[in-house]
Chain A
Amino acid sequence: AQSVTQLGSHVSVSEGALVLLRCNYSSSVPPYLFWYVQYPNQGLQLLLKYTTGATLVKGINGFEAEFKKSETSFHLTKPSAHMSDAAEYFCAVRGVNDYKLSFGAGTTVTVRA
């Protein structure tokens, strides 16, 4: 079974500052890991994913995440926040042969001008 813990339900950053969203997972098998973003009143959009290979994954809108097996983490970062990054972000995990996604509780990001 897989599960995800997102540290911090709300994160507030200044425009231009680093965005860091934390995600830790537990999994009995090598996992696939995902970050999704949900803008207000919209569905979920895939930001990036890790399956195999390079542990530093680049996604859309300048986001990236690093898979660290020793720390069971998959933290999401963006060097410079933009007002348009205000949204809710979800980390998710699944097994290789199990298509069910297990989601974290989500982190809401607000960006201060």
Chain B
Amino acid sequence: EAQVTQNPRYLITVTGKKLTVTCSQNMNHEYMSWYRQDPGLGLRQIYYSMNVEVTDKGDVPEGYKVSRKEKRNFPLILESPSPNQTSLYFCAIRQKSTDTQYFGPGTRLTVL
């Protein structure tokens, strides 16, 4: 099964201090995406990538950036975090053979 790792798992930071949450996968899957989970809202897609150097906005991209320089990594960048970005973040990959998305363990971010 596909394996997705995220780092860090927990992060507390302050407003305006740039941070990066890393996401890596072990099987060269083309499609990767980032979601945020908030109580009562479920998960919402932030950005996705269809392949190397191909990224696009999801439903809630404001305040986030991503890059896809190599197939296995898809970092999420918050240039100037704000308290409303306090959330639980999940990276996901799409396994082509089963057309199913698998999620990483999550990163809990608190912005003070």
Contact = CB atoms under 8 A, between A and B. Distances in A.
A96 to B, nearest CB: 9
A42 B42 contact: no
B100 A99 contact: no
Nearest to A100: B45
B26 to A, nearest CB: 15
**Secondary structure of the B side of the interface?**
strand
Contacts of B74: none
B102 A51 contact: no
B100 A100 contact: no
A106 B35 CA distance: 15
Contacts of A9: 40
Contacts of B40: 9, 105-106
Interface centre among A9, A92, A106 (most CB of B within 10 A): A106
Nearest to A90: B42
A74 interface: no
Given A99-B48, A99-B94, A100-B48, A105 B41 contact: yes
A43 B48 CA distance: 18
A43 B43 CA distance: 12
Contacts of B104: 43
A8 to B, nearest CB: 13
Interface of B: 31, 33, 35, 40-45, 48, 58-59, 90, 92, 94, 99-106
Give the 3 A-B residue pairs with the shortest CB-CB distance, closest first.
A103-B42, A44-B103, A103-B43
20 contacts: A32-B99, A34-B100, A36-B103, A43-B103, A44-B90, A46-B102, A90-B42, A92-B43, A99-B31, A99-B33, A100-B33, A100-B45, A100-B59, A101-B92, A101-B101, A103-B42, A103-B43, A104-B42, A105-B40, A105-B41
Interface of A: 4, 9, 32, 34, 36, 42-46, 49, 51, 90, 92, 99-101, 103-106
